[in-house]
Amino acid sequence: SESFYLCRSCLEAAKDEVFKLVEEFLMPDFGFSSNEIHLACSGRRGYHLHVESEAVKELDQYARREVVDYVKAVSIKPEVHGFHLAVKGSYTPPSLDNPGWRGRIARGIYSFLSRASLEDLVALLPPSRRHEAEAILASKDILLKAIESSPPRWAALLKYGRRFWEGLIAKAVELQHCEIDERVTTDIRRLIRMPGSLHGATGLIAMPLTLNELDTFDPLRDAVAFREGEVKVYVEEAPEISLMEMSFGPYKNSKVRLPSAVALYLLRAGLARLV
């Protein structure tokens, strides 16, 4: 298994959340421009995103909490955004191109349905109606076209019952909300790691990035500071780790000569000592 802090899949998931935060929230909903958004690899588990705007300088911790709750969909009420049982009779039902959570939930339902398996659909139905899952799956294209239509025909989904409808909405919110660090976002006294500095726990660079660079950025390759030389260490026990497009370990009670960046990580993680 991979070391937690150098978990490639975790870092990829963090990157996806950055794109979602910027493209789904900060720019369309909050109105920030790309020039006001500055990004850096944290040097450890994810990314730091800084918004530099006069509009946010005076936000206190309570206002920041509101931002967190909005982005993470905390206590969201879908019915306020048009997703109630009477939506089929609405003159202006929610549609895919609506702004804010109104459109976001619609797109989430569409996204979930487009890739839902039979098991996914069964899980949303009460026991008495689970036999309908196969029919829903078979009519997936028809249901998606109903959502795409103008106005959307939500009645095509409501006919499968309240539990199915509410389950779809819950799945949509789960897909569309964004995971951000609540403590970092709301703490107005927290020191910000300076971009370009080294993270003391990993030896990786807190690399400043543009949004265009993020797509191909690999912190385990591009944020490595110590690229030359080797260090001999004694490793008590360490899982396999990946760094600089190479794999090292696993190790147990081993004396090994490792690239400086790998040795530094193991030393800082308390997994090795110099010999």
Structural domain spans, the chain: 4-72+179-222, 83-176, 230-274
Nearest to 175 by CA among 114, 94, 95: 114
Cα angle: 98, vertex 103, 106; to 5 degrees? 135
> Residue with structure tokens 């789960």?
174
Q: What is the DSSP letter of 194?
A: P
pTM of the model: 0.89
Residues in the chain: 275
Q: What pLDDT score does 182 carry? A: 94
Q: What gap in Å lies between CA 188 and CA 35, rounded to an integer?
A: 22
4-72+179-222 CATH: 3.90.920.10
Q: Structure tokens of 77?
A: 């009420």
Would you say 179 and 72 are in contact if contact means Cβ atoms under 8 Å apart? yes
Q: What pLDDT score does 32 carry? A: 97
Q: What pLDDT score does 33 carry? A: 95
Nearest to 228 by CA among 242, 244, 241: 244
Q: What gap in Å lies between CA 6 and CA 4, rounded to an integer?
A: 6
Q: What pLDDT score does 1 carry? A: 38
Chain centroid, CA 117 distance in Å: 22
Q: What is the pLDDT along the chain (275 residues), one digit of tens a residue?
A: 344 467 888 999 999 999 999 999 999 999 999 999 999 999 998 999 999 999 999 999 999 999 999 999 999 999 999 999 888 778 899 999 999 999 999 999 999 999 999 999 999 999 999 999 999 999 999 999 999 999 999 999 999 999 999 999 999 999 999 999 999 999 998 888 899 999 999 999 999 999 999 999 999 999 999 999 999 999 999 999 999 999 999 999 999 999 999 999 999 989 999 99
Task: Give the 3-state secondary structure percentages of the chain, helix then strand then coil, rounded to 5.
Answer: 45, 15, 35
